[in-house]
Amino acid sequence: MEEFQSYFTDGILSKEQMQELYFSIDRQRSDNLDIDQLSEYFSPHLGEYVNVLSALEKLNVAILKAMDKTKEEYQGSSVLGQFVTRFLLRETSTQLQSLQSSLDCAVDAVLDQSGSGRRVLRKPEDLPLPKSSKRTGRRIQKNMCLSPTDPYSGMLTTGVSVEPENPWGSQMERLEELVDKLDCETPQLEPLQEDTLAGTYKSNMLLVQRQMSVKEKEVEPFQEALKIYTDATSNQPDNLHISVQNLPDRSCFIMYEFWQDRLSWMSYLQSPISKTFQRCVIDSLEEPEMVSTMLLPASWWIMNNNN
């Protein structure tokens, strides 16, 4: 129940309403919902979002393929070819930003219509600033932290929990980083090895971001529990890396967990150490924890750790 509320609380439904929702899904009162139960419950309500989620998956793969092809061919292209490539990348990034803006407006409108006043939103000044760039005049400010969605969203089409991805934000960031490289006078783009390219679309690692705003009186015990959790997690064979950023002026902790795959993380959520830490999180926070996930190509991790 506590884990369910932690992942699905949206600041609109009350605690009692969340409990009612939970028991409507857990009809057998097992107190242990699995992905199949969640998928069965939400699937009839998808409507047009079946097509949206399917399109997002295809778009994600298409962009990854296009960017890897660019890395292979850009340096050997003609001046005109390089110009067209840069233009197409910028245009793609702009289109994604426009869609992201429309989605954000839709989310705000839906939350406003709920009329609750309890929703948890991050203020613009609370968002991490984007990386500096020579094209900052062209860019809009983005939220570099992932959007606060729950890790179960992918189950709606696949029946298996996958990352919500924040596809626009993640792909915009990759596109803009690539354009930065292409704009250099002497671009240092090297093709990926063929076997690495093949694995890009078949093997993914999972990034989990957890943002926790702790009550002032609970900071010290929370830090102790956090250290125990990070030490234990870093020793897990399927955990690639874990780090914590502390924003002391707000008693806010942002934790990043890199996992070998999504199933490894989902399995770890059921472990005693994870459940113990989650109970501490529930007791210590001023507001609901914000959890978001993103799939990253395994080749990205391999390349960055081999450099």
User: For 267-305, what is each residue's pLDDT tens digit?
Assistant: 899 899 999 999 899 889 988 888 888 888 877 666 666
User: Look-up: residue for tokens 């406003």?
Assistant: 112
Three-point CA angle 137, 142, 146, nearest 5°? 160
C-alpha to C-alpha distance for 180 and 132, rounded to whole angstroms: 11
Ranges of CATH 3.30.70.100 domains, the chain: 204-307
Instruction: For the full predicted model, state whether its pTM sits above 0.75.
Output: no
Single out the residue of 76, 86, 304 nearest to residue 191, CA to CA.
76
Q: Give residue 285's Cα distance to chain centre.
A: 21
Give domain 204-307's CATH architecture: 2-Layer Sandwich (3.30)
Q: What is the mean pLDDT of residues 127-140?
A: 38
C-alpha to C-alpha distance for 80 and 203, rounded to whole angstroms: 34
C-alpha to C-alpha distance for 273 and 63, rounded to whole angstroms: 38
- For residues 205 and 258, the answer to whether their CB atoms sit within 8 Å is yes
User: For 27-84, what is each residue's pLDDT tens digit?
Assistant: 767 777 777 777 777 788 878 888 888 888 888 888 888 888 888 888 888 888 888 8
Q: Which helix (H) or strand (E) holds 293?
A: strand 290-297
